[in-house]
Structure 1
Amino acid sequence: MSNGLELVKIVCCFDMLKASIITRRCDNVKTVANQQIQNLEADVHDQLKGYKILPHFYD
């Protein structure tokens, strides 16, 4: 019986490790995406310098 219990412990540890790796990857993706968004916002801000943004009026 103890062999079965050890196997369950190993599988649980492996699943927790996988979850940890996936979480870390998601955090990395979020960080990279946020950096890209900030870069895009800065680029757009630089490109729009000198232009007047006129409000849009809708009927």
Structure 2
Amino acid sequence: MSFIHRALSVLQRSFQTQHEIEDAYLAGSVDIYDLERRMRELDKRDAQEPFHLRHSI
């Protein structure tokens, strides 16, 4: 059982969370205006299509 637990733990760490992906996207901004544009883009996306609907079948 511990082998399965360790394997799942390693597998889980290999995938980025949505929060990490968004942080990396925001960190890639070149100036304050680009950062603000990216933040508005993420806010607009979340308002138009909530997370629980974006990943449903």
Name the TM-score class by shorter chain.
0.3 to 0.5
Question: Which structure has the bigger radius of gyration?
Answer: 1
TM-score for both structures, normalised by structure 2: 0.37
Higher RCO, Cα 8 Å, sep 6+: 2
